[in-house]
Structure 1
């Protein structure tokens, strides 16, 4: 491989873990050993049950689905996009693949030989832990964005919050099996299978003489490891069991156990006396037991959404998500957790809408299949804060194309945006009153035009430009080429760095809304119109906090944090002297989000306007308490950006 290609491969790999953990001297031989594979839509890289190959894979460009063969057909278990690592069983377990990899869009894939990477695993503990964690979780794909909580598998990673009520009105209805079917490690596979059949169960736990769990054999193992692979059923069960077995304490409680199964992608979880594998088995729970109790769980809803392209089904699933949202809000579940769940569900809807739209347009625009693009969520959905099905702000960014393709590219992406918005409206979302949607040609543009948009807003911060900044500066990539978004982001921060006075204009704009309490310490309400005498919780309380958080995070040149909670969290780290104020601002925003969402659910609207007289005494005081951080932050910004002098 030429040095130029090796350099490009290394530059790409360095952007994603675990390769980002490598030094240049460690990365260079890996990049040199990479085999570049091109697969077309409809092809399969590896199939469920096949022996693991001597490579693992990284998706460079395109889209790959990892699917499980079920009696009802293929079911999507993972969606791989740019930078995702998959097929790691070759590296870790040398076992047959648990899923098939289907190429959904023409894809470039980097194949890394295991033998080249083994030395890195031995010498770099961070890399070893990265892969080990993925293997222990039963994951075939290890996502690069685990810390951001943007995908379903990472929603349940943090179990330290108050999730005790999660989604079950009566968790006690779930029954654990205390009569666990067990066998010794030297039991033959066929005898173990017969025991399972006789007991009408889908698993058997392989135990030591002390009843300590050594491994587990399931129906799925029998299909994929024995039948599909032609493995002799006369051999001992120890040769095909899954080991080590994942264990927890029964006393951990159902919610903890449920989260563990979701996080680790397990169909069965073994319960032991002390929660370790060096303790006697005392029970087992299967995912079937859980799913019987979980009509509205995030896992079930997301799984259902990922496996349908029927818009009516998508609408019904989103309706069920709203029921789940109401339960979360009324039971005081952490707002960060709730917002992450609802964001993931909305993102899956958008992803499925894109699939529907691309398939519809494929016959008329065959030449557009290879054109890179990115679907952007803006505003509250871009910040991962949209709970209700209010209007969705979105846009499309696509690569610059040769002049001869400009017209056809514009037409294609315009139609793509229109079709996606049509699906979103059919799923119950409202159209944006300001027409900031991917159906509007103004917001479906190539990278060069988007760069010019942001440059113009930064260099000519008119009131209209600043209004657009409040929406567009919170853009987030939902699907497509992340590299396009990264290039745009680099451009934006470079422009801000060269035009720092832009932040003063942004600061002035962030202070345009006065404190929400009047002179007599009562709510500032609307004076006229259909919402007369009502309090605008969005404009008077939430927007000031989102504007202030955005301004301050931009002033620190921090890239990649859109969420208001997380912005205040990061600001607490960057400015310890103001940490308490930022913490209070984050808590205030959480209260406001909850109040608006509950109001919207109760009134069947967007929850923006609240009648102060309808609030109880405690609610009124709680709402007023959220205003204090707004006033303090506005004063900090006024002094920091010298706005008294700036206005002169």
Structure 2
């Protein structure tokens, strides 16, 4: 008998949630297990049947979970070795909502609920496993993907770099609560003396009520006082940097740090309510940040901003990818990760422009005065390009007199081509469809771009819709950003004139139905280089990105390109579907993380995944992300009358 219990325990400990149990508890569970042999064609339990006092784990064989609908029966899940199912007896104590049918002769272990209830109450990891919906057949209207992502991080066996965990716990960042201040009437000599006495690198200029007016740093004394020979009796108000950027002291560290990165701040003033209309209560310096963390994107960004050497830029971007790996493996929020990587990519593009302009220094000065803007498209346009996947970009420039048209086209094509070559040198792949600023078709004056966009909206052919899904996610990065804003307004104005365009866009958003089965049933590539691999981009990410774009356009929202931020905005606009949109946002974040990790593991784009390479929890979490896609597509089908529209 002890031999049998030992064998059952050995099997159970290979699979979650049993793998989270101590040896003693596991043996207690194993001793209570009932072994059941089931023949092909049998039904273990039926939909609507009262829950039994057991739940099950499949030892060997094949069992499918089905749902009886009005006129037919649909397979909802397919259990493989180690899958836990029939858990409603444990969790909900209500009738089964699915039937368990035996596809081939099978062996299952039945585990009494009474034995497991105490474990569920005392073991948070086990409770989280079930709360995250990782057990087969736990039908929840909307899976809690946040819990699932949390569970995956907790359950991982890999070693973790805890030096990076500061991003999820502000208490680990140390900032100065004793802020050196002075009045705007005090002289710069007095301010310098105070800084020297306290041995600090900054002083905040405040009103009498300690509300901040400006800040003076060591750099200001070098560049504004010494270099320009300003008299030392000059009031501090004359050299202070103002207005100041402030934030709440209790803001999350990721928000504080991203604010410093994006605004190139060496010091960030903290106030009681986050505005300059309340008292100063702290100051965060980049030195504080560097002392608090082992890997700093600020260091990489500083390096990029201070070099035009292509080899060095490539090396820094390589380092950023290693930083990305740390962030992903430590489960940092995707909002933070995407923002940091976007900032790194944007700096590279801006440096590429500097390099390109230097290479064209001998060109006609009149051409250099024409306003232009470099646009990122696709994933970089949506602030979602974590890996160096292929480029998608374009260039728009101001309209010029006809006599200058050919010269302007030639100049900006040279500029765009030079920028694309810099990005290639930094490791960003060439676009297979040649949608880059090195292609004359995508280097055009404003009037031509408006013509393109209007044509796609007025005559939404299949090719036009494909172009719209790529180009309508553009984001202005370098040059005159106002040109990009003008194009955005043009898109929304044209759609208002012909709203039927949204129906065509909706039809396109339904082109990639999500794979709803377990990985055994996933829609894999049937031939070619990626045969039997799962295309996470086209099967999972594109449907969500297309749906978010469609719905945001239908609401006329301007300036929100990122997919999960679009869903967050939609949750505000449509409170009836708030929970669904929040789940869709979380699903997209999980898909982004999964693809990036796959790419880093295999030195690829991460687009094609071998299902067998993923662990059980990864497979189950990925499967859960498809639920919001199905629900959103159902809503879109009705909202845009696609049944009628397709006739």
CA contact (8 A) 1:164 1:255 kept: no
- Aligned residue for 1:337? 336
1:574 deviation in Å?
2.1
Q: Secondary structure at the match of 2:521?
A: coil
Between the aligned partners of 2:549 and 2:291, the Cα distance in structure 1 is: 43
CA 328–368 in structure 1, closer or farther in 2 if over 3 Å, else same? same
CA 412–521 in structure 1, closer or farther in 2 if over 3 Å, else same? same
- Aligned residue for 1:572? 571
CA 552–231 in structure 1, closer or farther in 2 if over 3 Å, else same? same
- Aligned residue for 1:419? 418
CA RMSD in angstroms comes to 4.7
Between the aligned partners of 2:230 and 2:422, the Cα distance in structure 1 is: 46
Between the aligned partners of 1:179 and 1:563, the Cα distance in structure 2 is: 38
Between the aligned partners of 2:522 and 2:326, the Cα distance in structure 1 is: 29
Between the aligned partners of 1:271 and 1:495, the Cα distance in structure 2 is: 43
Which segments of 5 or more consecutive residues in structure 2 lack a partner in the other structure? 1-161, 206-211, 275-279
Q: Secondary structure at the match of 1:346?
A: helix
CA contact (8 A) 2:168 2:254 kept: no
- Aligned residue for 2:365? 366
CA 602–216 in structure 1, closer or farther in 2 if over 3 Å, else same? same
1:584 corresponds to 2:575: no
- Cα deviation, 1:432-474, whole Å, max 9, x if unaligned, reads 0111111111111122222222222223322222221211111
CA 549–288 in structure 1, closer or farther in 2 if over 3 Å, else same? closer
- Aligned residue for 2:10? none
* 1:88-167 alignment, distance < 5 Å: 165=164
1:314 deviation in Å?
1.6
- Aligned residue for 1:347? 346
CA 405–292 in structure 1, closer or farther in 2 if over 3 Å, else same? same
Q: Secondary structure at the match of 1:541?
A: helix
* 1:221-620 alignment, distance < 5 Å: 223=222, 229=229, 231=231, 287-288=286-287, 290-291=289-290, 296-518=295-517, 522-620=521-619
CA 470–199 in structure 1, closer or farther in 2 if over 3 Å, else same? closer
Q: Secondary structure at the match of 1:339?
A: helix
CA contact (8 A) 1:342 1:387 kept: yes
CA contact (8 A) 1:362 1:369 kept: no
1:502 deviation in Å?
2.0
Between the aligned partners of 2:237 and 2:460, the Cα distance in structure 1 is: 69
1:249 deviation in Å?
12
- Aligned residue for 2:124? none
- Aligned residue for 1:142? none
- Cα deviation, 1:10-69, whole Å, max 9, x if unaligned, reads xxxxxxxxxxxxxxxxxxxxxxxxxxxxxxxxxxxxxxxxxxxxxxxxxxxxxxxxxxxx
Q: Secondary structure at the match of 2:460?
A: coil
CA contact (8 A) 1:374 1:485 kept: yes
Q: Secondary structure at the match of 1:508?
A: helix
CA contact (8 A) 2:249 2:282 kept: yes
CA 165–490 in structure 1, closer or farther in 2 if over 3 Å, else same? same
* TM-score, length of structure 1 as denominator length: 0.63
1:295 deviation in Å?
6.7
CA contact (8 A) 2:436 2:442 kept: yes
CA contact (8 A) 2:301 2:347 kept: yes
1:382 deviation in Å?
1.0
CA contact (8 A) 2:203 2:215 kept: yes
- Aligned residue for 2:23? none
CA 247–514 in structure 1, closer or farther in 2 if over 3 Å, else same? closer
Between the aligned partners of 1:584 and 1:594, the Cα distance in structure 2 is: 15
- Aligned residue for 2:641? 642
* TM-score, length of structure 2 as denominator length: 0.63
Greater gyration radius: 2
CA contact (8 A) 2:167 2:253 kept: no
1:214 deviation in Å?
14
